[in-house]
């Protein structure tokens, strides 16, 4: 099991609800896409859309909830769940599974990049390169399909300069997240 066992403190503490304190732009990138998709832009959605727009990682629902709550505590986890599901259906968000039990999200239009997950630490490294996708698209084409999107997750382990390509990797000390 990956060292992703954070015990996420339970929900928000009651009694400190507040309206948007930080300036939430009325038209974050994601928010714009929502409108285009014909969704009602409620205060909650605007905040969640904003949070998603400025995120440069792959937050899970609990994390999104935390970030959104920080801006406007009048948001519930249920809404976050409902929102990401909706946005995924609309094709605005993409769901990822990096292991660790929770679904994680990122904006769909973040380019042709791949996620390389360190199986020991759980850390996620991203990198770009059009070639692999180009190849895959070509193969799909050959089967009569136009590639619409893709989900590519690679699992790797830090390679040691010397001792390479010998005995199958066995136990390695897992480092923290």
Binding stretches for DNA (CB under 7 A): 1, 7-8, 14, 35, 39-45, 60-62, 74-79, 81-83, 85-86, 101-103
Residue 146 corresponds to which tokens in the numbers above?
């136009």
Using CB under 8 A as the binding rule, whether residue 102 contacts a second copy is answered as: no
Nearer to DNA, 39 or 137 (CB): 39
Q: How far apart are CA 166 and CA 124, in angstroms?
A: 26
Nearer to a second copy, 11 or 151 (CB): 151
DSSP letter for 103, please.
-
CA 50, distance to chain mean position in Å, is: 14
Of these partners, a second copy, DNA, none, which one is at the site of residue 41 (CB under 5 to 8 Å by kind)?
A: DNA
Nearer to DNA, 149 or 165 (CB): 149
* Of residues 51-90, those binding a second copy (CB under 8 A): 85, 88-90
DSSP, residue by residue, 107-133: ETTS-SEEEEEETTT--EEEEE-HHHH
Using CB under 8 A as the binding rule, whether residue 129 contacts a second copy is answered as: yes
Identify the residue among 9, 56, 131, 162 touching a second copy (CB under 8 A). Answer: 131
Nearer to a second copy, 8 or 135 (CB): 135
Of these partners, a second copy, DNA, none, which one is at the site of residue 149 (CB under 5 to 8 Å by kind)?
A: a second copy
Residues in Cβ contact with 55 at an 8 Å cutoff, skipping those fewer than 6 apart: 64, 67, 106, 107
Please state, as a whole number, how many other Cβ atoms lie within 10 Å of the Cβ of residue 41. 14
Using CB under 8 A as the binding rule, whether residue 113 contacts a second copy is answered as: no
β-bridge partners, 117: 124, 155
Report yes or no: 105 and 88 within 8 Å, Cβ to Cβ.
yes
Q: Which stretch binds a second copy (CB under 8 A): 11-19, 60-68, 73-81, 113-121?
A: 113-121
């Amino acid at each position: 099991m990956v060292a992703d066992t954070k015990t996420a403190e339970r929900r928000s503490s009651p009694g400190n609800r507040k309206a948007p304190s930080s300036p939430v732009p009325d038209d974050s990138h994601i928010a714009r896409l929502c409108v285009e998709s014909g969704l009602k832009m409620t205060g909650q959605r605007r905040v969640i859309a904003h949070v998603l727009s400025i995120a440069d990682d792959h937050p899970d629902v609990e994390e999104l909830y935390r970030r959104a709550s920080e801006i406007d505590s009048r948001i519930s986890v249920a809404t976050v769940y409902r929102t990401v599901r909706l946005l995924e259906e609309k094709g605005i968000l993409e769901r990822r599974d990096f292991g660790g039990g929770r679904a994680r999200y990122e904006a769909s239009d973040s380019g042709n990049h791949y996620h390389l997950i360190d199986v020991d630490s759980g850390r996620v490294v991203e990198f770009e390169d059009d070639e692999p996708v180009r190849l895959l698209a070509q193969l799909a084409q050959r089967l009569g399909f136009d590639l619409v999107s893709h989900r590519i997750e690679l699992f790797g382990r830090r390679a040691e300069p010397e001792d390479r390509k010998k005995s199958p990797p066995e136990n390695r000390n897992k480092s923290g997240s």
